[in-house]
Amino acid sequence: MALVNEHFLKLPDSYLFPDVAKKINTFKVTHPKADLIRLEIGDVTQPLPPVVIEAMHKAVDEMADASTFRGYGPEQGYDFLIEAIIKNDYAARGIQFSNSEIFVSDGSKSDTGNIGDILRHDNSIGVTDPIYPVYIDSNVTNGRSGELGEDGKWSNVIYIPCTSENNFVPQIPEKRIDMLYLCYPNNPTGTTLTKDQLKQWVDYALRNDTLILFDAAYEAYIQEPNIPHSIYEIRGAKKCAIEFRSFSKTAGFTGIRCGYTVVPKELTAARLDGERIPLNPLWNRRQTRRFNGASYITQRAAEATYTPDGKRQIKKTIDYYMANAKIMKEGLENAGLDVYGGVNAPYLWVKTPKETSSWRFFDKLLYEANVVGTPGVGFGPSGEGYIRLTAFGNQDNCIEAMKRIKKWIS
């Protein structure tokens, strides 16, 4: 008799984004003529940069010729992309890596979920709250999270609140943590940490033998000078941190799928007997046995983003989204709402007025202003009383949405 992994059964039947989609579909059925503006999805809307399209066409042509055809590629990624990553994302910031420390994948969502495969099931977990749901859900299915309580918290997870009361800066916990998830610039709040603030976490990790899992998927949106683009800008981070990067929001690859993970060679974790084991070869072993690598066509497209034309074209797209964020932030503040984020990230974290619950505000925004956001409580208990809006939409829609919200609020 085959037995199921009962940890999967612990996951709630509902999931944030399908729940939002159901409410939208119900609205469309009952209001078929309504002009709905959707600002809830963290998905890009601008087309791929021309240099990326050109690179993909060229790679497709190569696949059509026996002399340039590519079959299975290296699971870790092609050297041409890895070398471009090291040169542009790290060496340019004074950070040195070897090719074998970079692992190209089909996106950071996969890697942040799969990284737990090489770590023991009974490690303690710490998360900033609110948080991207995948971090916790992947640990639920690996048996690390414990049981879900009525307060919306998992029993074996240490929640570190990030709210307006502490300026969205997570406080160093008194209790030590084995695995700590940090995402900066943050999804969903759009907030950031300065280098000094991030250094406190690196120092904590070094003191407590904590592994930091650092999601830097939105680093390309950083506008201010004192915000680190990589955790490895902090001295000592190579000994305590794995970093996840993505081309999804940077270059519009949400439908193409490409990202990468950095596992430094000097990073280790312990066996029960205390022996230190390097994590780099463990992750390499995991990838070579359970992943066949991102496609050659995709990796040539990613490589093109590092060319001079690619950098210019990507910056233009990012500037478009950040202009949306500025329009939205100003519009929401003019409507009398408290708004966070939107300066170094394409997310705006809006405090609901008069202590309205997240789902209540979502419903009212949908039915009375015909604008869709994402309820903050879906990202964790500390998200209650907030709603997330994204700047990835069409600019005219963003402007219209702000007009509607201001009129509705007033």
User: How confident is the model over 212-263, as pLDDT tens digits?
Assistant: 999 999 999 999 999 999 999 999 999 999 999 999 999 999 999 999 999 9
The single-letter DSSP state of residue 152 is S
Domain assignment of residue 120, given as a range: 53-306
105 within domain boundaries = yes
pTM attached to this predicted model: 0.96
38 within domain boundaries = yes
Give the pLDDT score at 12.
Answer: 83
Output the average pLDDT for the chain: 96
Whether the per-residue pLDDT at 16 is higher than 90: the answer is no
9 within domain boundaries = no
Residue 128 · residue 102 · CB < 8 Å: no
Radius of gyration of the chain (CA): 22
Give the pLDDT score at 17.
Answer: 85
Q: At what angle do helices 308-334 and 50-63 cross, to 10 degrees?
A: 140
Q: In this structure, are 227 and 357 located in the same domain?
A: no
Type of residue at 27: F
Number of independent structural domains in the chain: 2
6 within domain boundaries = no
Where among 284, 306, 328 does a domain terminate? 306
Q: Are strands 347-351 and 386-390 parallel, antiparallel or unpaired?
A: antiparallel
Where among 306, 321, 349 does a domain terminate? 306
User: Position of tokens 């003019």?
Assistant: 334
Dist. CA 378–CA 148, nearest whole Å: 14
Residue 267 · residue 240 · CB < 8 Å: yes
User: In which band, very low, low, confident or very high, does the pLDDT at 173 lie, cut at 50, 70 and 90?
Assistant: very high
Q: In this structure, are 65 and 144 located in the same domain?
A: yes
Q: In this structure, are 400 and 268 located in the same domain?
A: no
Domain CATH code at residue 364: 3.90.1150.10
Whether the per-residue pLDDT at 167 is higher than 80: the answer is yes
What tens digit of pLDDT does each residue of 51-97 get? 999 999 999 999 999 999 999 999 999 999 999 999 999 999 999 99
Domain CATH code at residue 256: 3.40.640.10
Give the pLDDT score at 56.
Answer: 98
Phi-psi region for residue 188, left (φ > 0), alpha (ψ -120 to 50) or beta?
A: alpha
Q: Got the DSSP string for 255-299?
A: GT--EEEE--TT-EEE-TTS-EEEHHHHHHHHHHHH-----HHHH
8 within domain boundaries = no
Where among 306, 331, 351 does a domain terminate? 306
Give the pLDDT score at 353.
Answer: 95
